[in-house]
Amino acid sequence: MDLHSVRMEYTGDDIASLPREPFRAFEIWLSEAMKTEDDATAFALATHTSDRVSVRMVLAKDLSADGITFYTNGDSIKGEQLNATHIAAGVFFWPKLHRQLRFEGAVTLLSIDDAEEYFASRPHDSRVASYISAQSRPVESYQKLHTDFENAKRVLELLPVPRPPKWQGYRIALERIEFWQGQPNRLHQRLFYAREKNGEYSRTWLQP
């Protein structure tokens, strides 16, 4: 498939006025994206081990100065990779705004209480699905998966769905963050923040 002739023109406002604190800038962009995009809180999460780099989408569930939070099964590929390296990178792409937002940092496991609280807040059927799914393991058949789901639903109808012990929350610290705003003629604006040893952030404007 030849894609050479596909051309997208990017446009956007000047982003010079973004706040000095990257977390505030992150909040502004995420809030704006939630008004324009279909799935604004979804980001691509990259994790690795020495012989493998993996990337997949996850849903952001919290954003604070401490970092960005998501939930997953710790026995999945990403869970195993995070358990080995404790670092990750993420990227949001908000096409309607012609914006990309990247971040990198150390990853910490949230407390069991946090995992319990968020798990309990999810819709019943989502909890049942997490309960019966050994994420990232081979599936015998999707028919059997659906049967397991219906059986578990019946059994757990009037009971609290137990959180799978490895269903956990993770937080990625905002050590490096880059805001990319598309501009005409490929003269895009890139604002890069890096957290220094004293906890303050440096800001650098990068060439497109």
Ligand X SMILES: Cc1cc2nc3c(=O)[nH]c(=O)nc-3n(C[C@H](O)[C@H](O)[C@H](O)COP(=O)(O)O)c2cc1C
Q: Which stretch binds ligand X (CB under 6 A): 70-78, 110-118, 121-129, 173-181?
A: 70-78
At residue 17, φ and ψ (nearest 5 deg) are -90, 5
Q: Exactly one of 37, 40, 46, 70 binds ligand X (CB under 6 A); which one?
A: 70
* Binds ligand X (CB under 6 A): choice among 13, 20, 36, 39: 39
Asked whether position 59 contacts ligand X by CB under 6 A, the answer is yes
Q: Pick left, alpha or beta for residue 83 (phi over 0 → left; psi -120 to 50 → alpha; otherwise beta).
A: alpha
Tell me how far apart the alpha carbons of residues 43 and 33 are, in angstroms, rounded to a whole number.
12
The least distance separating ligand X from the CB of residue 56, rounded to whole angstroms, comes to: 4
Query: Sign of torsion, CA 131 136 138 143?
Result: positive
> Any contact of residue 133 with ligand X (CB under 6 A)?
no
The CA-atom distances, in angstroms, between 76 and each of 80, 103, 130, 140, 183 are 6, 22, 12, 17, 38
69 near 171, Cβ under 8 Å?
A: yes
186 is catalytic: yes
Cβ–Cβ under 8 Å, residues 97 and 179: no
76 binds ligand X (CB under 6 A): yes
**Residue 187: CB minimum distance to ligand X, A:** 31
> Could you tell me which residues are beta bridge partners of residue 171?
69, 108
Site size with ligand X, rule: CB under 6 A: 16
84 in contact with ligand X (CB under 6 A):
no
Residue in 135, 148, 152, 195 binding ligand X, rule: CB under 6 A: 135
Euclidean distance between CA atoms 89 and 81, whole angstroms: 12
Instruction: Compare residues 23 and 93 and give the one whose CB is closer to ligand X.
Output: 93
Name the active-site residue from 7, 137, 154, 186.
Answer: 186
Binding of residue 72 to ligand X (CB under 6 A):
yes
Query: 72 or 189: whose CB is closer to ligand X?
Result: 72
Catalytic residue numbers, as ranges: 186
Binding site for ligand X (CB under 6 A): 39, 42, 54, 56-59, 70-73, 76-78, 135-136
